[in-house]
Amino acid sequence: MPKIKLNFLFSSIKYFYVLIIIMMAFALSLLSLFLYQNLYKSITQSEQIILLKQEVAPDTIDLARVDSVLSALKQKVSQKTINWLEIKNFFIYPIRNSTEN
């Protein structure tokens, strides 16, 4: 098998052009990937947002009615505070001395 000299391989203009073409194709593929991810995807997402905004119903909310419902719920839920000192605790037993019997 004949040995290929590396100096001849890298010094040949034909191989130099092939190497340059491969590097340009690689750079072009990286550029197209970058443009796809950062430009094309953002444009399509913004178009989708515009289309979805048109589908949303433009209903207005009556804030006075919402506030009245929330206040009614608050009145229903709120109770008097419990005074724990007035409640008799059945779990406290007086301590008895064994000498009292």
Q: In angstroms, what CA-CA distances link 38 with 13, 45, 57?
A: 37, 11, 31
Cα(48)–Cα(42) distance, integer angstroms: 10
The tokens 């391989």 sit on which residue?
Answer: 9
Q: What is the pTM of this model?
A: 0.40
Per-residue pLDDT of the chain (101 residues; tens, 9 = 90+): 566 666 665 667 777 888 899 999 999 999 999 999 999 998 888 888 888 888 876 778 889 999 999 998 888 776 667 777 888 877 777 666 666 55
- d(C-alpha 30, C-alpha 34), whole Å: 6
The residue ranges of every structural domain in the chain are: 6-77
Report the b/e string of 81-99 with b at 16+ CB within 10 A.
Answer: eeeeeeeeeeeeeeeeeee
